Amino acid sequence: MLCTMTLLAAEASPARRDRDMRNPHAGEPFDTSDEQIAGALLDVSIPTLMLSLVHMSGDPELIRGRLKPAGLFLNEVQGYMTEEDKEEARGMALETIRHYRDGGCPEPEPISAELLHEMMAWLVCEDVPAEYVPMLMEEMGLDGSDARRLGAPGDEAAREAFPVVVIGCGQSGLLAGVRLKEAGIPFTIVEKNAGVGGTWWENSYPGARVDVGNHFYCYSFEPSDGWTEYFARQPELQAYFESVMTKHGIERHVRWETEVVGAAWDEGTATWSVRVRTKGGGQETLVARAVISAVGQLNRPHIPEIPGAGTFAGPAFHSARWDHAVDLTGKRVAMIGAGASGFQIAPTIAGDVEHLTVFQRTAQWMFPNPNYHAAVGPGVQWALRHLPFYGRWYRFLILWPGCDKGLAAARVDPDYPDQQRAVSELNELTRQMFTDWIVSQVGDDPDLIAKVIPDYPATGKRTLQDNGSWLRMLTRDNVDLVRTAIDHIETDAIVTVDGERHPADVIVYATGFHANRVLWPMEITGRDGVDLRSMWGERPAAYLGITVPGFPNLFCMYGPGTNLAHGGSLIFHSECQMRYIAQCLDELVVGGHRSMEPRQAKYEEWHDRSQREIKKLVWSQPSVKHSFFKNAHGEIHILSPWRLVDYWSWTKEPDLADFVVR
Ligand code: NAP
């Protein structure tokens, strides 16, 4: 494995030189003054900086001495180095960077695969198993290549005869567009909204921000050195997707404010007829040889049916349909639901409203993240822009702690005694850590502590992040946390089952999405008129989360069984899926085939295996009573139980033996 990578590194370098191109990750040359460099170094992640120095100097001894990170924790990017050690590292860095600058910022020579592996392990203070190295190398693209980009299949006429419709222009649909354009395959993206971003277009509620570090939560081939916060807010995320769309010239392929209502496969012509509702309400049909569904799992708002809800006199809206015309200042606001969305909304609005009542059915586990609202300083932005491979190593640094370790804490030890409390020894330790954080924030209010400590195992639902803002918000005088069930709603109040009236001028439903109704409400009809949703019933499935037998040339991104609750990022998953899909399309175009679909046995085996696996994980446990991961039968069909490295390797290349190709 390592030998292959040495070869790759060796091969990439002359090719780059031939093209006379600077590796895009080598940083832009600069003439920044010594003082400014010294200032920038005060901000940066020192362990990441030290790896950049190895590239600049070509000297691995820089990381073989006394100065090294002491440990790793998610979002802790200084590796627990002492202030003295960091200061010493900065001094060494200033000297190396000055030399590099004065030499004209030459593009660093490629580094051997063995040294890169050593650098990985050094940065994260543990062995990085060899099976992960190719995936990480690809994710970082240190040689400046984009291994997930594919060439154009077949000749132009063959490609022109293979139009593709992509449903949705969120992060996955936009990625599909970028890759299809690179492959020279004609495509149309149909998007129900008026702009790009999907989730990051629709969720404009106060406080909306991502909770995967942005220097990882972005396309591997489109890093940004301009993030203003480590966990960017919605406008900045939407602007990022807008910029990628513009840079790659995707906009002219998009039909905005047009919604796919259904699609039907015609075996005679081997085409999909995709029915759309246009902006003006008209109906149209687009004909395609293949369809890529990129509709996401979390965009059809769920509002529970609560008696009397229709009688409420004030404004009432869902978190993903925020009504910006409603001024909450001085209002009594009731927020029903407190999952990931509510966790962000409540702390943001609590200071403006007269009173906030938070109705939370189930307490949520959260882990401490002091950087959650932190700004990216100008020094870090300078380093990302100029220091060779700083951004690439930083990406790896925040990726690694969320790379399959969450699965270990989620795995059920059937012999662990108190399954309501924890599912394993490790899960119990996680519980302790999370509990300590919660208690440290709430102080000595036993009533509040009783309300905010969950009664199910840690990480049993989607774990949230807190920098103190949620728990601080709950201690405000103008905030009440209600854990009693709601009975009904009246014109100006919410009444709980204990008979208490909670007056409200505005209701915010932060009650989540119809996550289990996959591809709903579209009507997808496959071979012999089979309706996809009827076939699935409550158990949606797709081989590798991507293809379904009887539905030829239909490919899902972020399909059933691919949501992530244990780490990683959906953008990483989308890149795996799109590479796989692009290779399938390549096969269809080059081979002149009519269609491909997975073998029934393969599909069933995958689903059975995934179901067996997910039942061994905490999310499936009966102790977790309410969770959008579960369907009405308590089964989970939308989440991935698999390690990122496994999913990456399974989707790296389609095995044609898995398919019926006609
Ligand atoms: P959610 O996690 O499904 O939370 C919905 C909330 O509404 C929960 O508190 C739930 O209570 C409550 N609820 C639902 N039905 C109810 C009912 N009938 N009666 C009382 N309460 C009810 O939805 P979300 O907060 O919108 O988040 C959904 C997903 O979107 C997240 O898991 C995440 O994947 C994504 N998201 C991410 C971010 C981010 O990146 N920072 C932000 C927002 C959303 P129970 O807990 O008891 O079910």
**Ligand 1 pocket, residue 487 CB under 6 Å:** no
Same domain, 172 and 212: yes
Which atom belonging to ligand 1 lies closest to the Cα atom of 340? 25
Which of the listed residues 481, 509, 537 is the one where a domain comes to its end?
Answer: 509
Q: Is the dihedral of CA 139, 143, 146, 152 positive or negative?
A: negative
Domain count, the chain: 3
pLDDT score of 17 more than 70: no
pLDDT score of 4 more than 60: no
pLDDT confidence of residue 30: 97
Least confident stretch, 80-94, 131-145, 322-336, 441-455: 441-455
Same domain, 165 and 136: no
Residue 372: what residue type?
Y
pLDDT confidence of residue 81: 97
- For 556, the 3-state DSSP assignment is strand
pLDDT score of 9 more than 80: no
What does the pLDDT look like over 177-194, one tens digit per residue?
Answer: 999 999 999 999 999 999
pLDDT score of 88 more than 90: yes
Same domain, 163 and 295: yes
How far is 475 from 350, CA to CA, in rounded Å? Answer: 11
**Ligand 1 pocket, residue 210 CB under 6 Å:** yes
- The whole-model pTM stands at 0.95
What does the pLDDT look like over 232-290, one tens digit per residue?
Answer: 999 999 999 999 999 999 999 999 999 999 999 999 999 999 999 999 999 999 999 99
Query: What proportion of the chain, given as a percentage, has pLDDT over 70?
Result: 97
**How do strand 596-598 and strand 554-556 relate by DSSP bridges?**
unpaired
**Ligand 1 pocket, residue 339 CB under 6 Å:** yes
pLDDT confidence of residue 6: 30
Which of the listed residues 509, 530, 564 is the one where a domain comes to its end?
Answer: 509
**How do strand 259-266 and strand 271-277 relate by DSSP bridges?**
antiparallel
- The preferred substitution site among 511, 563, 571, 639 for testing ligand 1, maximizing ligand atoms within 8 Å of CB, is 511
| pLDDT (average), residues 59-70 | 97
pLDDT score of 55 more than 80: yes
**Ligand 1 pocket, residue 511 CB under 6 Å:** yes
pLDDT score of 14 more than 70: no
**Ligand 1 pocket, residue 321 CB under 6 Å:** no
Same domain, 342 and 483: yes
Residue 492: what residue type?
D
CA dihedral of 337, 342, 343, 347, whole degrees rounded to 10: -120
Same domain, 365 and 497: yes
Distance 338 CA to ligand 1 centre (A): 6
Q: Exposure of 151 by Cβ count < 10 A (0-12 exposed, 13-18 middle, 19+ buried)?
A: exposed
pLDDT score of 138 more than 80: yes
**Ligand 1 pocket, residue 204 CB under 6 Å:** no
pLDDT score of 16 more than 80: no
Place of tokens 């820089």: 62
Same domain, 387 and 253: no
CA dihedral of 514, 600, 653, 614, whole degrees rounded to 10: 50
pLDDT confidence of residue 20: 54
**Summary mean pLDDT of the chain:** 95
**C-beta of residue 72 within 8 angstroms of C-beta of residue 124:** yes
pLDDT confidence of residue 18: 42
**Ligand 1 pocket, residue 320 CB under 6 Å:** no
**Ligand 1 pocket, residue 512 CB under 6 Å:** yes
What does the pLDDT look like over 492-547, one tens digit per residue?
Answer: 999 999 999 999 999 999 999 999 999 999 999 999 999 999 999 999 999 999 99
Which atom belonging to ligand 1 lies closest to the Cα atom of 462? 32
Distance 306 CA to ligand 1 centre (A): 17
| Per-residue pLDDT band at 661 (split at 50, 70, 90) | very high
Here the CATH number for the domain that contains residue 415 is: 3.50.50.60
**Alpha carbon nearest to ligand 1 atom 23, residue:** 512
pLDDT score of 552 more than 70: yes
Same domain, 22 and 164: no
What does the pLDDT look like over 583-595, one tens digit per residue?
Answer: 999 999 999 999 9
**Ligand 1 pocket, residue 318 CB under 6 Å:** no
How far is 278 from 200, CA to CA, in rounded Å? Answer: 22
Phi first, then psi, for residue 464 (nearest 5°) are -100, 175
What does the pLDDT look like over 618-643, one tens digit per residue?
Answer: 999 999 999 999 999 999 999 999 99
Same domain, 367 and 384: no
**C-beta of residue 373 within 8 angstroms of C-beta of residue 231:** yes
pLDDT confidence of residue 257: 98
Q: Is the dihedral of CA 245, 250, 256, 259 positive or negative?
A: negative
Same domain, 86 and 133: yes
**Alpha carbon nearest to ligand 1 atom 48, residue:** 626
**How do strand 187-190 and strand 316-318 relate by DSSP bridges?**
unpaired
Distance 627 CA to ligand 1 centre (A): 8
Phi first, then psi, for residue 617 (nearest 5°) are -115, 160
How far is 63 from 94, CA to CA, in rounded Å? Answer: 16
Which atom belonging to ligand 1 lies closest to the Cα atom of 208? 42
Same domain, 194 and 275: yes
Same domain, 546 and 428: no
**Ligand 1 pocket, residue 232 CB under 6 Å:** no
Q: Exposure of 104 by Cβ count < 10 A (0-12 exposed, 13-18 middle, 19+ buried)?
A: exposed
Boundaries of domain holding 243: 156-300+515-661
| 32's tokens | 């920044």
| pLDDT (average), residues 445-467 | 94
**Ligand 1 pocket, residue 496 CB under 6 Å:** no
What does the pLDDT look like over 407-417, one tens digit per residue?
Answer: 988 999 999 99
Q: Is the dihedral of CA 526, 528, 532, 535 positive or negative?
A: negative
pLDDT confidence of residue 154: 86
**Alpha carbon nearest to ligand 1 atom 27, residue:** 340
**Ligand 1 pocket, residue 298 CB under 6 Å:** yes
Which atom belonging to ligand 1 lies closest to the Cα atom of 319? 26
| Per-residue pLDDT band at 1 (split at 50, 70, 90) | very low
How far is 147 from 101, CA to CA, in rounded Å? Answer: 30
How far is 252 from 267, CA to CA, in rounded Å? Answer: 30
| pLDDT (average), residues 111-129 | 97
Same domain, 477 and 331: yes
**Ligand 1 pocket, residue 213 CB under 6 Å:** no
**Ligand 1 pocket, residue 342 CB under 6 Å:** yes
Least confident stretch, 214-218, 305-309, 404-408, 563-567: 404-408
Which of the listed residues 363, 396, 429 is the one where a domain comes to its end?
Answer: 396
**Ligand 1 pocket, residue 510 CB under 6 Å:** yes
